[in-house]
Amino acid sequence: MTLKAAGSGAVARRGGGGPVRVMLVDDSAVIRGLLKRILDGEEGIVVEASAGNGKRAIEALDRFDVEVVILDIEMPEMDGMTALPLLLEKKPGLRVIMASTLTAKNAAISLKAIANGASEYIPKPSSTGALATGGDFQHELVTKIRALGQAARREARAPALRRPGIKPAAAAPKGLYGDAKVALRKGLAEVPKVLAIGSSTGGPQALFNMFELLGNRLTAPILITQHMPPTFTTILAQRLQKVSGLQASEAVDGEIIVGNRIYVAPGDFHMIARRGGGAPVIKIDSGPPENYCRPAVDPMLRSLAAVYGGKLMVVILTGMGTDGTKGAREVVAAHGSVIAQDEPTSVVWGMPGSVATNGLCSAVLPLSGIAPYVLRKFGAPTA
């Protein structure tokens, strides 16, 4: 096991301040070295330790106070899926990012890992050369580490507020989540006819939890943009179908938007709505990324607002950044409504926090409260 000689004790003595402390876990010393080189060049991040398999990573927690772990899936002696629950048991509050090459098998394993407590995933480029020069990969890696490190420190300050289903963000103690105010708008004047959901970091688990509560009781069309690469969105749709009992699939260009269906934006494409001859249809768009993302939430919301107006309800779930805010403004201007997940139950309160603090929401709710709220507003049975 390769361990960084400096840092852990000194950082810990600063009471959780300083750079985000990371451990790299991968059976390839070359990959670990490349990742370390990337992260060493970033302000606010320090690689405290690295390990060649899950067993050594667990042992490293005895010596190093890390906050975020980059965890490979396939490793000798102890693989990532075996190590994940042991790491989380040994250090509650640890944030784990699953790292794997982009295959259907690894996508399915990564989403299973998220259901079992991992915070995020990141698809590794297929070659070391692409990893060393991949600007998009490096940006995504660094952004996720920073966001999850901040979330870990927030939880350390107030661990009770991370239990799902408790106080909404507006009721949180002053100063704990900043001084931003959440001013709520009036809800829809009419019963909505379509539901749109945007999510990113922490989104898959939030979606699974939400659809377990929704089940198949919502008969309106449901359109979802989750920041995900290709292959992952295919597996996400399959899991949502299993959880909800509704037909769910990646959206197909030109298909008509109908009820009792879940449409998932396919990886690397925006999903937008257009007026068809008789009914709205889906268009799959390969236009430029927005907010560094494709698919992005903003183009979906803009198009749905133009097509459905006041009959549109939007849910913004956990995620980093501000994707969805510009689109939500157009939804509100078209007399639709927006609700957001609250900060205590979000992995990262970036996207939902942005729409909430910009005065665009008619409700800011804990994750467990979103499905009942949606069902009531759509006039669907709640039990």
> Catalytic positions, please?
200, 227, 323
Alpha helices in the chain (DSSP H): 8-13, 29-40, 54-60, 80-90, 104-115, 128-133, 135-157, 203-214, 232-244, 297-308, 325-333, 351-357, 367-378
For 326, left (φ over 0), alpha (ψ -120 to 50), or beta? Answer: alpha
Cα–Cα distance for residue pair 177/190, rounded to 1 Å: 33
**What angle do helix axes 203-214 and 367-378 make, rounded to 10 degrees?**
50
Cα–Cα distance for residue pair 226/250, rounded to 1 Å: 11
User: Tokens 């990646």 label which residue?
Assistant: 250
CB atoms within 10 A of CB 155: 17
Cα–Cα distance for residue pair 90/64, rounded to 1 Å: 12
Cα-based torsion angle of the residue sequence 285, 288, 294, 297 in order, rounded to the nearest 10 degrees: -80
One-letter amino acid for residue 246 of the chain? L
Q: What does the DSSP 8-state code read for residue 313? A: E
Q: What DSSP letter does each residue of 21-68 carry, written as one string?
A: EEEEE-S-HHHHHHHHHHHHTSTTEEEEEEESSHHHHHHHTTT---SE
